[in-house]
Structure formats: structure tokens, C-alpha cells
Amino acid sequence: MQQYKCLIVEDEPLAAEVLQDYVRQVPFLSLKAVCPDAIYAMELLQQEKIDLIFLDIHLPKLKGLDFIKTLKHPPHIIITSAYHEYALQGYEYNVVDYLLKPVEFARFLTAVNKLRQLSSGETVVSVPAPAERSYLFFNVSKKKVKVFLDEILYIESLKEYIRIVTKTKSILTKFQLGQIEEMLEKNNFIRIHRSFIVAKDKIDAFTATDVEIDGKQIPVGRSYKEVVQSVLGIAGS
């Protein structure tokens, strides 16, 4: 049985542990190292021949897709990411597969078996899997509540807390607005005020000074006005 030497390039300890466990359960995979960033992975690639990399996209120092660009003869790559919007871009780099976090073992097996098909000379047509919905869990009254990102209308800062508002619910959780901003999909969320982040696709109307979402008027802060104008095309007042 052919053995595939692999690296896990992942900066989230929990995600890395899950992948390590999965790799150990697959007889034809041999894990050589877990790298917290792409720079460390580059050093290891110079020392040893690697057949497969499980690569996160949002990495410190050097992003996953930028890391691929630096490799003249890259090994096989399976991308692991919490963001489905990079799937098409990932396939432009001929990746074997694109796994959305949290990764289920059955889906992991599908990806690594696809690698075996490629190595055996079988024709494999890689197409993006149907987009899975991204979500986050938040602590609310001693329990964790799931919130799908595509359901969020807006997020409001309330000092040490944030209020996350959807069509069907509003939750209050201890979080900083800047922290949640970093976790959101940049292509659909925009900070329009020091106290508000809104979903662009949920905006019903706007002016130079505010946006309207589900009947609520949300102000546009002065320091954010230029960014909002460029993104939404709001004419200056």
C-alpha cells in the first residue's frame, strides 16, 4: 500500500487535533508534522519530501493561498477552511479537495480517497461541493447557541457585550465587536459605525447617514463614512 507523507498546516489547536486524529485512522497516511504557520511548513518542505498538505486558509504571517503561490512544485493539497467563499479560488490552484470546518470524518475520507484515485491514474473531476452554511457558537446564559452567519442582520456593540440580531432572534453575548468582526466573512459584512456591523445583503435602503435593515435605521459613523461610500455607493451629503 502506497504511503502518503503529509503535513497539517493549521494554527487552531482544536482543528489541528481533529485532523491529527483523522490521519491516524487512515492506514495510507503518515503524518510528519503539524505546522502552526506556513513559514514553518516551508522549512519542512525543504527538508523532506511531502506528498500531501492539509492547509488552512486563514493563517498568521502568510495566508494559505499565498503560501501555495510560493511553491514551484507543490505537493497535493487539501484545503481546510471555515469559509466556503474561497472554494472556487482554491480549485484554481488544482487542490485535491476543499473541506469545510468542522470537518466530518466521512468527508475527510472522501477527500483522501480522491487523492488515491489521482495517484492511480484515474480521471477525477474536481468540482466544488455544495456550499455548507457557516456558523458560530456563542455563550448565552450558560449554554452555547448556534448562529448561522447568513441569517445575521446586524451586530450591535453594548460595551462588554454584543447583540446579534437575525430575523427570528436576538442574542446577547459577552464579546468585543472587534473580535467578532475578524471572524465574519469579509465579503458580506461591513462595519459602518464603532457600534455596528451590518450584513450587506440584508440592507433594504440607505442614505449618506444611515442604512435600513428590517425596518431599523442604523447610523453610519463619520470615520466609517468613506469606506461605506465605496462599498455601497452612497453619495456624499
Q: Which amino acid is at 12?
A: E
Residue that is last in its domain, among 69, 86, 119: 119
In a domain, 128, yes or no: no
In a domain, 78, yes or no: yes
Angstrom CA distances, 128 to 42, 88, 90, stand at 27, 7, 9
Contact predicate 220/208, CB 8 Å = yes
Q: What is the pLDDT along the chain (237 residues), one digit of tens a residue?
A: 678 999 999 999 999 999 999 999 998 999 999 999 999 999 999 999 999 999 999 898 899 989 998 988 889 999 998 877 777 676 777 888 999 888 899 999 999 988 877 765 444 444 444 556 778 888 888 888 888 889 999 999 998 899 999 999 999 998 888 888 877 766 689 999 999 999 999 999 988 899 999 999 999 999 988 888 888 775 444
In this structure, are 185 and 225 located in the same domain?
yes
CA 117, 118, 122, 125 dihedral sign is positive
Grid look-up 503539524 returns: 34
Phi and psi at residue 224, in whole multiples of 5°?
Answer: -105, -5
Q: How far apart are CA 223 and CA 181, in angstroms?
A: 17
Grid look-up 442604523 returns: 218
Largest Cα–Cα separation, the chain: 69
In this structure, are 91 and 139 located in the same domain?
no
Identify the CATH number of the domain in which residue 192 sits.
2.40.50.1020
Contact predicate 157/194, CB 8 Å = yes
In this structure, are 12 and 107 located in the same domain?
yes
Cβ atoms < 10 Å from Cβ of 192: 26
The residue segments making up the domain with residue 98 are 4-119
In a domain, 225, yes or no: yes
Angle (CA) 57 62 68, round 5°: 65
In a domain, 127, yes or no: no
User: What are 129-184's pLDDT values in tens digits?
Assistant: 455 677 888 888 888 888 888 999 999 999 889 999 999 999 999 888 888 887 77
In this structure, are 95 and 151 located in the same domain?
no
Residue that is last in its domain, among 119, 151, 166: 119
In this structure, are 100 and 13 located in the same domain?
yes
In this structure, are 106 and 209 located in the same domain?
no
Residue that is last in its domain, among 73, 91, 119: 119
Contacts (Cβ under 8 Å, ≥6 apart) of 105: 22, 25
In this structure, are 227 and 197 located in the same domain?
yes
Identify the CATH number of the domain in which residue 35 sits.
3.40.50.2300
In this structure, are 106 and 13 located in the same domain?
yes
Name the DSSP letter for residue 26.
Answer: -
In a domain, 34, yes or no: yes
In this structure, are 11 and 90 located in the same domain?
yes
In a domain, 200, yes or no: yes
Number of compact structural domains in the chain: 2
Omega within 30 of 0 (cis) for the link into 36 = no
Dihedral of CA atoms 50, 56, 61, 65 in degrees, nearest 10, equals: 80
